[in-house]
Amino acid sequence: MKTFSIFLFVTFLSLVLLNCGKKNDPGILTPDPEPVNPVFRVTPNQLDFQGASSQNVIFYSTHSWTASSNQEWCTCTPSSGSDGSTQVQIFVMTNITGNTRDAEITFTVEGEKTVLKVSQESSAQANYVPQGYSLVWNDEFNDPRLSDGKVALPNTSKWYYETGAHGWGNNEIQNYVPGFLGKDTCAQVYNGTLKIIAKKVGNQVLSIRLNTIESWTYGYFEARMKLPTGKGTWPAFWMLAKDMKNWPDDGEIDIMEEVGYDPNNIVCTIHCKAYNHSLGTQRGATRRVPTAQTDFHVYAVEWTEDYIYGFVDGVRYFTFANDKTGNKNTWPFNVPFYLKLNLAWGGNWGGAQGVDESKLPATYEIDYVRVYQKK
């Protein structure tokens, strides 16, 4: 009887040890666990835009994911990720269609999908273009980032650089560079705008002076811009004759100028042999724009064979009429002119009250430049 009891105990112990081995022995095949459905969501699930800009959403997922847009004008970064919460930037380009447009960003996880809806109003709703004009040239600065993630430079099929540090006739301090110097980039195109950046590098201030390759005789010329801050800045949007041989004889049209020590006071001016600042006879006008350095505004001129008008946000504040004498000294404005964008530092006007280098880097931001002419 005693021997039989010992036999039962040993048998029981063996069964227990055998069962424990089945649970822990990696060599024992066990059924796969039931698949877990992915959990994911985008917050918020709808975005509304005005103009070219970006907004962020949070995408949460328990698995790896991808995202894609059904419209080229709407993109997302990053477009893929792993589990967890990810901040995704949604960027839309300028909408000049005249209508509100829609896009969808589709997030896909393990074959399942959720959609972020994007709506964008047209920037063309604030249309200041005079009747009878049609768009003939434009740069919306909607270039995407490069494949290596770096920002783009201005399109050299539309623009070229003027370079140098020789004062430019105004004792300016900056050194204009061809987009960048070494690792310091002063012309950057991303998120739908061109950024012209004046920055201190070593013992010099670097900046940008851009010119359009094309030129035009007469038209309506406009740009939507936000101006830099800081004493010493001197942003400009202006025009010179394509065949410029002598200044001021061949003419200059200053669509927009402002200096940092006199912020938000916008100036529109013309220069020619009879009327120029060297003689103190220049013809111009000033308009105060209280948010010129914090918000975007549209600066423009309408130039015809009879007059040159200057505008801010569609409001005309400058008029210069052709005296019809046929005298180039008073009206050299009957030949092709090209457009210019630059950010000067210091100089006879920009530095008239000194400069404040603590305000560097300073950024001059341009949303678009457009040229219209009559058919």
**Are the C-beta atoms of residues 275 and 283 closer than 8 Å to each other?**
yes
Residue located via tokens 């811009």 = 225
- How many CB atoms are located within 10 Å of the residue 183 CB? 6
User: What's the CA gap between 322 and 337, in Å, rounded?
Assistant: 17
- How many CB atoms are located within 10 Å of the residue 9 CB? 10
What does the block give as tokens for 120? 């964008």
According to DSSP, the β-strands at 219-226 and 297-303 are antiparallel
By C-alpha distance, which of 181, 230, 227 is closest to 358?
Answer: 230
Q: Which residues are catalytic?
A: 252, 257
What does the block give as tokens for 187? 């012309």
User: What's the CA gap between 207 and 343, in Å, rounded?
Assistant: 6
User: What's the CA gap between 92 and 75, in Å, rounded?
Assistant: 7
Q: How far apart are the first and last CA of the chain?
A: 119
Cβ neighbourhood burial of 65 (10 Å; 0-12, 13-18, 19+): buried
User: What's the CA gap between 225 and 214, in Å, rounded?
Assistant: 21
- How many CB atoms are located within 10 Å of the residue 250 CB? 20
Helix H or strand E segment including 356 = none
